[in-house]
Chains A and B, each alone.
Chain A
Amino acid sequence: MKTGKQIRRHRKLTSSQIIYYIVLILAAIIVIVPLIWMVSTSFDRFDSAELPNPPRFLPANPSIFNYFVVFHNMNMLRYLLNTSIVAALSVILNLFTASLGGFCFSKGKFPGKNVLLLFVLSNMMVPFESKLLPVYDVIKGLHLTNTYLGVILPGLMTNAFFIFFIKKFCDDLPYDLYEAGVADGASKFRIYAQIYIPLMGPVMATIAILDILNVWNDLLWPMVVINKDTMNTVQVGLAIFGTSKNMQSLPGVSMAMSTLSVLPLAIVFIFLQKYIIQSIAATGIKQ
């Protein structure tokens, strides 16, 4: 079946298509200009708190002074490290638990499977925001406040959407593989790890991408569970700085911090943009 993409490929541009291009270019400019301004301002040295008039998009005094200030006076490197550890831990553990859960719900045969699946999926019905206090009490009771595990545990243990997504993918994999594994005397875990995991590549990539986007950009939960500066994630550190009184008088430093907070994801994005867009389109998930 041909799709809309091929529909008008080999024709000349119509007048309406030219208008579409103009509108889209305009939209792209509106999206990209603030980001360009952010990066250029971060390399610009300001001697006063005044913003240059008119706004400039090339630094008048190119320097890395702002980054110097950020690294010397703020814990930015520490925040970046914390977030990287949290993101890495979260992705690894999520991939493991979600793929195992999806595999069990897809290939397992045990009484109450549907009830248990609905039970797990109930996580998707209850927004995390509406159970903030009791979840915090649980984490506090486990003495996990101000730890990396405390940041990821609630999300990790309620990742029903990922389980469901993997289950749907796993449903299309043949059941014969499981039976072949059983015939060879492999345990359930071994069948999962050695037969099914290698076949789940695409869906695992999707989940890794979505999880990194979520964890990297999350603000509310890390802010609740962490109250020690050296444990702050990038978003919390940035939010504290961004709402402080002197932020507005330091455009260069603010933009240097902002650029640094985006940089790791931007690098990932450059290499994986095609997959990121596909993942978002396939799941419709939003942080």
Chain B
Amino acid sequence: MSRRFRSVAGWYLLLIVPLLGTIVFNVYPLIKTVIDSTLNMQGHFIGFTNYNIMFSDPEYHQSVGNTFYMGILSVIINIPLAFILANMLNSIPRGQNIFKVFLILPMITSIVTVAILFKFIFSPDPASMANYILSIFHIKPFSWFSDIKTSRESVVMMSVWKSIGFNVILFFAGLQTIPTELYEAAKIDGANERQRWLYITIPCIRNTFIFVYLTSCIAALKSFADVYAVSSEYGDPGGSLFTIMLYIFRKSFSTLFSKDTGLASAASVFLFLLILVITIINYLLTENSERVRSFFKIRRTGKKGALEE
């Protein structure tokens, strides 16, 4: 009995770091954030007042609008483009690796470096690279990041440039798992290239699609580093780059704007709920995907292990 007890205690001891970490850095912060969101700056309970203030705060409206606008735009551009490029990459006989290396290069470059680089490429100066290329086609120079009308689109272009390779690699890995027998059978049945693409390729990588789509959505909701690196915590020009995370950051840590931990916590809780909804949709949609199957396999084999004892 004591031997068995020692054995069990040993396992718990070996798991002390992740268990403690989950309590200190996950459970406690989560509860603290929810509690904080119902307190005012003096620590008095004020119910849902913070949420009311937040939802009627024009700054918050602006941040949600910007986050969704940039998120939707980048998903609409990024995913189809990455899918098309991955298909092309999958169809060429030689040189796949070298293209993959080129496309993945921006991913090892941090978003801060990319932002500094693109501030020069997208500089309002007519001599900047982007404006120079436009001038070849006789298009008037843009102000890119500095103009309220183009700043959000410019940030989206920058983040697409940075993350396209990542999505191409994911789609390519998905395409590689489709057995060629399917294509050969379809060819024998007289399906043309377009039909094979539509009826074999797309259904077979449906799960990759959903995964890429939802991780992109979550990344877009949390977008912080790209806008911060371009415009610091101001979200300028004209607040057009002001995102939800920037709102939380400003209300939590800003030295330039008025802080309000209650509002920051309320915004954090709402962001968490948004992401939770997306994650749940992810699990429901990919019910028969590898990821979830392995997730539930743990539980099954785990139970079997418990029975064996």
Contact = CB atoms under 8 A, between A and B. Distances in A.
A177 interface: no
B129 A243 contact: no
Interface stretch (A60-68, A126-134, A195-203): A126-134
B303 A269 contact: no
Contacts of B308: 109
B20 A31 contact: no
A120 B100 CA distance: 34
A121 to B, nearest CB: 8
A173 interface: no
Interface string B6-34: 01101110110111111011111110110
B248 interface: yes
B33 A134 contact: yes
Contacts of B177: 3
B190 interface: no
A208 B93 CA distance: 32
A150 interface: no
Interface string B245-259: 100110011000000
A119 B18 CA distance: 10
Given A125-B279, A239-B229, A248 B119 contact: yes
Contacts, number: 329
Interface in B113-128: 113, 115-121, 123, 125-128
A163 B298 CA distance: 13
B197 to A, nearest CB: 11
Given A4-B175, A7-B180, A55-B132, A31 B219 contact: no
B112 A219 contact: yes
A97 B18 contact: yes
Nearest to B32: A134
A4 B268 contact: no
B149 to A, nearest CB: 20
Interface residues of B, number: 118
B52 interface: no
A195 to B, nearest CB: 15
A281 B104 contact: no
B166 A280 contact: yes
A87 interface: no
B8 A276 contact: no
Contacts of B69: none
Interface in B173-213: 173, 175-181, 183, 193, 211-212
B15 A31 contact: no
A284 B93 contact: no
Interface in B87-139: 88-93, 95-97, 99-113, 115-121, 123, 125-129, 132
Contacts of A38: 117
A17 B41 CA distance: 63
Report the contact-size class of chain A (Cβ under 8 Å from the partner).
Answer: 35 or more
Interface string A145-172: 0000000011011111001000110010
B42 interface: no
A32 B4 CA distance: 60
Given A38-B117, A133-B252, A138 B303 contact: no
Nearest to B172: A281
Interface in A44-82: 50-55
A274 B231 CA distance: 35
A129 B245 CA distance: 8
A28 to B, nearest CB: 4
A242 B119 contact: yes
Given A54-B132, A100-B14, A104-B15, A133 B228 contact: no
B30 A281 contact: no
Contacts of B172: 281
A88 interface: no
Contacts of B154: none
B85 A131 contact: no
A265 B102 contact: no
Given A38-B117, A156-B21, A6 B180 contact: yes
B288 interface: no
Given A108-B11, A219-B225, A37 B129 contact: yes
A55 to B, nearest CB: 5
A78 to B, nearest CB: 17
Given A97-B17, A104-B14, A134-B28, A281 B170 contact: yes
B179 A1 contact: yes
A230 interface: no
A17 B275 contact: no
Nearest to B14: A104
Nearest to B234: A243
A217 to B, nearest CB: 4
Contacts of A192: 14
B8 A110 contact: yes
Contacts of A130: 33, 248, 268-269, 271-272, 275
A157 B225 CA distance: 23
A280 B302 contact: no
A8 B107 CA distance: 30
Given A247-B119, A282-B173, 11 more contacts: A3-B177, A4-B176, A32-B105, A38-B117, A110-B8, A129-B271, A133-B261, A134-B28, A160-B18, A257-B116, A273-B104
